[in-house]
Amino acid sequence: MFLHVRLLPAPRALIVAATLLASSSLAILPIRLAHAASYTFTVINRADSVGVGTCNLETNKCTTLRAAIGFANDLAGSNTVTLMVPAGTIDLTKGELAITSPGLTLNLAGAGTAQTTVERSPAAPQARVFDICAPNSAPPPPCASPGPTVNLAGLTIANGLLSNDSGAGIRNLGGTLSLNRVAVTGNSIAVTAGTPTVPNRGFGAGIFSGGNGSLTLDKARITNNSLTVDVNAAGGGAGIESRGSLVIDASTISGNSVTACSDGSLCGEQAAGLAVRFGPAAIQNTTISGNVGTNAEGGIDEGFGPIKIVNSTITGNSAPGPGGFGGGFLTLGGLATAAILINTTVSGNTATSGGGLVSFGRSITLQSTIVANNRTIVGGISSDGNCNQPMASSGYNLDSGFTCGLRGPGDLSNTDPRLGPLQDNGGPTQTEALLPGSPAIDAVANSACPPPPADQRGVARPQGAACDIGAFEFVPNKVSITANPSSLPASGTSTSTITATVTSAGAPVSGDTVNFSLFGTCGTLTLSSGTTDAGGIVSATYVSSTAVGFCTITATEVAKLARASVTVIQTANPPPAPFTTVVTASPPIIAADGASTSTVTVTVTSSAGVAVSGDPVMVTTSGGAACGSLSTSMLLTNAAGQASVVYAASIVAGPCNITATEADSASSGSTVVSQFMPPNNVFVSAVPLSLPANGTSTTTIVATVTNAIGAAVSGDTVSFTTFANPPGACGTLSQVAATTNASGQATAIYTASTTIGFCTITA
């Protein structure tokens, strides 16, 4: 099991004033507090007013969100204020919500992105929605140190509108800003024409984070924000403009747009989706799609700082117009720039110049990454636009053309990755699935993966013999097969409909070839091979033979050689009166050690109670992974009407149902073999889960080992390993192996590094 420890910028020294408030009996707090304290309030209505005495310590309620934030701003020192915001829309009519108090921690939680919205009222003048470290001058001064820490969760931020300014949805000029399950959507900035000597500027229509601030996104959605740039002006980052530390996990940046003037010498522009300046930036498990930068860049542009992208999808972004370049990902270079893409899929992006990956400095480093079907489109003519120059390879990459110049171990060029469309394939973000038969499947050497331990959706790697290239780990196809009816007379003319269904990760697989084979006292099948339809289904008709017994029909799909079988019973024609089939197991309880056995005995008697000899009997198991194996599945009763088979245990605890079906009258019976001694389970936790990246802060890692019935396992050895995103994000562990105590727990002390990012600790 693994978990993420998130590293945040190291806090600066806190200065706490010595003045205390003597509050009134009504607990109204109109003046500035100076002691460190924690407060939790519920905002009780959606009006936008400051009011007088509107936060009450006796009821823990504030009348409005603006009043609650005003209360928080009046606190001096390292105070924590948590605000619970109701469902509904808060229309701001009095301008931005400014969060200004140095050292303040403000937690603001809504009822969910679909339930709680904070927006500029459509009837209000231009204004942003949230301003962190709001200045009173232009250009804005640096934020007072330490800036506020603002944690937003479960809400939508919308309809911010600005001209020649930055951060219409949120502006952060030096605080520590975190968004968890937050949507930032429909915010706009217009950067109007300036002069050659005094150009106008505006960045980050959705979010602008600059100064000495940091920005963290977890399961956030930054969508449909827009920015226009006229001549003698500069702007970009319609979704996000980050000029400091940036961490993004399991988020979506989609549908944002920049429209810049067509003459690049007259206006400066940046990407529509995400613009990163001066880093560092760590992005994982994230989809950046459908962003349009007209005469600008499409998905991401980055410059002058390190950026690492892991398990992410960059697709369907575009940069049209004569000034459009870098449809997917562009890096400007610079001495501090190091761009690394690991297990990432970059596909279907377009631009007038450089549809996929563009570097104006050192090469982008690729590892286990797909760069496919990106196009450069000039004058209506499309050409291979995957890479604008040869990229550095750490191995096991796939280029659908030749422009990336891949030369690393396991690299594939001029290869179609067979990608599915961008859609919900499970997990918090949309992904592009590898289709059956993709050359990216199982194409990464075991020495190179894992890590990462899972794909963009959270599906463990590997699923097959080895890890897959790109952000998506292919789950092998599954075949199911049915016979209707499953029992029929051995007449030579009776029929049963055989239906095979092929799925991958639960979705039907169309166009797959399925081969059928027969084993036993079989008749004929109208189809030996067929192609699945849109529902993943192919059907055939089985015609019985004239022999009493069993016919096993196996369906094998060609793409991944998945298979499944069904058995048709051919009874006497006409069948006799129903027989009685009794099944027993001795012993009925065995160890789940993969070696213990139980003898299963089948007894068949007629309706008159007479033993039936020479009757074919088929034995099957059901119970999933708990079921072990049978020494044989086809039996013939002896003179006493009995037949036996040996059942060997699995290594998974639980019951296994064993069913015997005789052929003459198709009667059946069953018994259960119970298995114990299950494998252990490991659960890992860390308290705290987030640390400052200061090289000294610590957290305790606890691994708890239990068996399948929940009992602690003592004396077991647990090993700890780490995986950093970006490199250097992992600190040190006090020990890499430990022995569980009487409570089944083994511990290690983790000490933070000085690099911001994620450290995945696996026990």
Question: Which range marks the domain in which residue 297 is found?
Answer: 293-475
Residue that terminates a domain, selected from 454, 475, 496: 475
The token pair that represents 335 in the structure block = 């001495």
Sheet holding 292-294, edge to edge: 161-163, 188-191, 226-229, 257-260, 292-294, 318-319, 350-351, 375-378, 381-384
Region 156-170: mean pLDDT is: 96
Res 65 pLDDT > 50: yes
Q: Which has the minimum average pLDDT: 18-27, 94-103, 145-154, 400-409?
A: 18-27
The token pair that represents 428 in the structure block = 């918090």
Within this chain, do residues 39 and 123 fall inside the same structural domain, yes or no? yes
Q: Quick check: bond before 390 cis, omega within 30?
A: no
- Give tens-digit pLDDT for 275-325: 998 879 999 999 999 999 999 999 999 988 789 999 999 999 999 988 888
pLDDT at site 51? 57
Res 14 pLDDT > 50: no
Asked if 286 contacts 249 with a C-beta cutoff of 8 angstroms, the reply is yes
Residue 68, SS3 per DSSP: helix
- Give tens-digit pLDDT for 577-600: 788 999 999 999 998 888 889 999
pLDDT at site 607? 85
What rounded mean pLDDT belongs to the chain?
87
What is the distance between the alpha carbons of residues 611 and 604, in angstroms, rounded to a whole number?
6
Asked if 553 contacts 520 with a C-beta cutoff of 8 angstroms, the reply is no
How would you write 581-634 as a 3-class SS string? EEEEEECCEEECCCCCEEEEEEEEECCCCCECCCCEEEEEEECHHHCCEECCCE
DSSP E strand stretches across 688-756: 690-692, 698-707, 717-719, 721-725, 732-733, 737-739, 745-751
pLDDT at site 167? 95
In a domain? residue 27: no
Q: Quick check: bond before 574 cis, omega within 30?
A: yes
In a domain? residue 631: yes
pLDDT at site 561? 79
Asked if 334 contacts 381 with a C-beta cutoff of 8 angstroms, the reply is no
pLDDT at site 721? 92
- Give tens-digit pLDDT for 689-716: 888 889 998 999 999 988 755 678 889 9
Q: Which has the minimum average pLDDT: 208-217, 527-536, 544-553, 574-583?
A: 574-583
What is the distance between the alpha carbons of residues 473 and 458, in angstroms, rounded to a whole number?
9
Beta bridge partners of 485: none
Region 379-393: mean pLDDT is: 86
Res 335 pLDDT > 60: no
Within this chain, do residues 458 and 530 fall inside the same structural domain, yes or no? no
Give the DSSP per-residue string, 460-493.
BS-SSSSBPSSS-PPPPPEEEEEEESSEEESSSS
Res 687 pLDDT > 80: no
Kindly state the percentage of the chain with pLDDT values over 70: 91
In a domain? residue 6: no
Within this chain, do residues 470 and 418 fall inside the same structural domain, yes or no? yes
Query: Which is higher by pLDDT, 5 or 403?
Result: 403
Helix H or strand E encompassing 107:
strand 105-109
Phi, psi angles (nearest 5°) of residue 357: -110, 130
Give the DSSP per-residue string, 623-671.
SGGG--EES-SEEE--TTSEEEEEEE--SS-EEEEEEEEETTT--EEEE
* Nearest alpha-carbon partner for 150 in 108, 211, 97: 108
Within this chain, do residues 671 and 710 fall inside the same structural domain, yes or no? no
What CA–CA distances, in Å, run from 491 to 260, 459, 487, 544, 567? 78, 49, 12, 7, 17
Res 253 pLDDT > 60: yes
In a domain? residue 4: no
The HSE-up count of residue 259 (CA atoms within 13 Å, CB side) is 8
In a domain? residue 624: yes
In a domain? residue 15: no
Region 719-740: mean pLDDT is: 91
Res 32 pLDDT > 60: no
- Give tens-digit pLDDT for 423-439: 999 899 999 999 888 99
Asked if 229 contacts 238 with a C-beta cutoff of 8 angstroms, the reply is no
Asked if 227 contacts 202 with a C-beta cutoff of 8 angstroms, the reply is yes
The CATH number for 550's domain is 2.60.40.10
Q: Can you give the pTM of this predicted structure? A: 0.68
Which residue type sits at 66? R
Residue found by looking up tokens 């069904």 in the block: 566
Within this chain, do residues 471 and 497 fall inside the same structural domain, yes or no? no
Res 29 pLDDT > 80: no
Q: Which has the minimum average pLDDT: 156-170, 194-208, 408-422?
A: 194-208
DSSP state of 366: E
Within this chain, do residues 610 and 707 fall inside the same structural domain, yes or no? no
DSSP state of 285: S
pLDDT at site 678? 61
Within this chain, do residues 425 and 347 fall inside the same structural domain, yes or no? yes
Within this chain, do residues 535 and 615 fall inside the same structural domain, yes or no? no
Alpha-carbon torsion (434, 437, 441, 443), positive or negative = negative
Region 9-22: mean pLDDT is: 28
pLDDT at site 3? 46
Which residue type sits at 11? P
Within this chain, do residues 471 and 506 fall inside the same structural domain, yes or no? no
Res 59 pLDDT > 80: yes
What is the distance between the alpha carbons of residues 253 and 237, in angstroms, rounded to a whole number?
11
Q: How would you label 392-421 residue by residue, b for 16+ Cβ within 10 Å and e otherwise? A: bbbbbbbbbbebbebeeebbbbebebbbee
Within this chain, do residues 430 and 497 fall inside the same structural domain, yes or no? no
DSSP state of 115: T
Structural domains counted in the chain: 5
In a domain? residue 348: yes
Region 27-51: mean pLDDT is: 69
Asked if 275 contacts 249 with a C-beta cutoff of 8 angstroms, the reply is no
Burial of residue 28 (CB within 10 Å: 0-12, 13-18, 19+) is middle
Within this chain, do residues 697 and 626 fall inside the same structural domain, yes or no? no
Res 7 pLDDT > 50: no
Q: How would you label 449-475 residue by residue, b for 16+ Cβ within 10 Å and e otherwise? A: bbbbbbbbbebebbbeebbbbbbbbbb
Which residue type sits at 427? G
Residue that terminates a domain, selected from 448, 475, 502: 475
In a domain? residue 351: yes
Number of other residues whose CB lies within 10 A of the CB of residue 437:
14
* Nearest alpha-carbon partner for 545 in 578, 571, 515: 571
Region 496-508: mean pLDDT is: 89
Residue that terminates a domain, selected from 438, 456, 475: 475
What is the distance between the alpha carbons of residues 297 and 615, in angstroms, rounded to a whole number?
75
Name 725's Cβ contacts closer than 8 Å, sequence gap at least 6: 282, 284, 308, 310, 452, 757, 758, 759, 760
Within this chain, do residues 209 and 336 fall inside the same structural domain, yes or no? no
Asked if 711 contacts 678 with a C-beta cutoff of 8 angstroms, the reply is no
